[in-house]
Amino acid sequence: GEDVEQSLFLSVREGDSSVINCTYTDSSSTYLYWYKQEPGAGLQLLTYIFSNMDMKQDQRLTVLLNKKDKHLSLRIADTQTGDSAIYFCAESRSSSASKIIFGSGTRLSIRP
């Protein structure tokens, strides 16, 4: 199957860390992505990870991949109001890297 699942909402206090979780079903997934979509805008690729990696860090963002459990997470350190957006987990396979399967998206809201 081609399912990518995420929880729909997350609310965190400004300055705390946000952790957005994602599970996928296709064990042949090769590339896993996190996209950010602000209201009324297109999608922005935040980061990606190859399936043979466990972790990737990029400034405030940390991606963890548990391939055995098919679980991907995105941690945003020191969450700011500008991080309010919908975050999409996505995957693609080496047989068709053009086709990206998106999760339903997690809406992150920041409270003061």
Sign of CA dihedral 50, 52, 57, 63: positive
- In the complex with another protein, which residue's Cβ is closer, 41 or 55? 41
- By CB under 8 A, name the one of 15, 94, 109, 111 that touches another protein: 94
| Of the residues 23, 31, 60, 73, which one makes contact with another protein according to CB under 8 A | 31
Please give the C-alpha separations between residue 24 and each of 41, 81, 111, in angstroms, as whole numbers. Answer: 25, 28, 29
- Segment interacting with another protein, rule: CB under 8 A, options 12-20, 56-64, 75-83, 89-97: 89-97
Q: Can you read off the two tokens belonging to residue 44?
A: 């922005």
